[in-house]
Amino acid sequence: MSSSAPSDVPPPRPSLHGFLVIDKPAGWTSHDVVARVRRLVGERRVGHAGTLDPAATGVLPLAVGTATRVLEYLAGADKTYRAEVTFGVETDSQDGDGRVVARRDASALSEAAVAALLPAFRGPLQQIPPMHSAIKVGGQRLYERAHRGEEIEREPRPVVVHRLQLLDWRPPVATLLVDCSKGTYVRALARDLGAAAGVGAFLSDLVRLRTGPFALCQALTLDALADAPLPWAWPAVAVHPDAVLPGWTALLLDDEGRTDWGAGRAIAAPAAAGRCRAYGLDGAWLGVGAADDSGRAWRPLKVVEGAA
């Protein structure tokens, strides 16, 4: 009988998949946070949905591993912010990182007057994006032109402000709760409120409280993530990729169906409509699909690794 010595080779590190809800610190770009998280979790596939300005803090959801396959379904999510708008001062970027370009006396502005401005900025709006934004015009980012001192005409974009509430008034600073659609620039909202008040304004502080299903109360700081004993603590710090698919039909597949799904073959169903999220009998997430034109089958759209 032969025996062998225990191997000193450590077990392979498990792959990590899911969403991390990060509380972005001030002064960091969204790309900075992605790069830091890649190092902390040892996973190259990390992405974010919805850039948060460097000066802003709060919810920045990051998709890790196979969660990147459904990142697009979070990109269009509504968002909620707590915003501080300072009246009487304008900056070229419309936030605190910019250069002051105008000052006006806002001492006559009252809490009632600020509250009276808000109804006009609720509901569907046509908003002109800031020059300091990542929108491309003529193949160039607007902020690249702004850094060269250029100011060009921008087309208004449709956005929706679902809720706009005055939380606090400490002259000349208004604290607002803003619940809005994808693509809304809170900096532009501050600019337009200042114009409506006749004294100018800029966004002096911004905290993102929510992106889609992810809220600030569940967010981790980068320090907390660095202290987590990964990979073993992953289930405690991450959210399943299907969290961004609320209301989608859940499709449970046996072994034969799982094989067909992994091969990209349609799954017959008595009735199929809309989109679905697929799982194996063991609970493994297999990806997402959509009803075919006949309404009698589910067609795989995104098959995650290990589905076959």
Residue 199 to residue 214: CA distance in whole angstroms: 36
Q: Please name the helix (run of DSSP H) or strand (run of DSSP E) that holds residue 203, with its range, or none.
A: strand 201-211
The pLDDT of residue 276: 97
138 phi-psi bin (left φ>0, alpha ψ -120 to 50, beta other): left
Question: Model pTM?
Answer: 0.89
* Counts for the chain of helices (H) and strands (E), in that order: 8, 18
* DSSP secondary structure code for residue 83 in this structure: E
As averages over each run of 10 residues, the pLDDT of the chain (308 residues) reads: 54 80 96 96 91 92 95 93 98 89 96 98 92 61 58 80 98 98 94 97 97 96 96 95 94 95 94 95 95 95 77
Query: Which positions are catalytic?
Result: 53
Structural domains of the chain ordered from first start: 18-76+214-242 (3.30.2350.10), 79-206 (3.30.2350.10), 248-303 (2.30.130.10)
Residue type, 119: P
Residue with token string 């409509």: 273
The pLDDT of residue 108: 96
The pLDDT of residue 8: 63
CA 149 to centroid of chain Cα atoms? 29
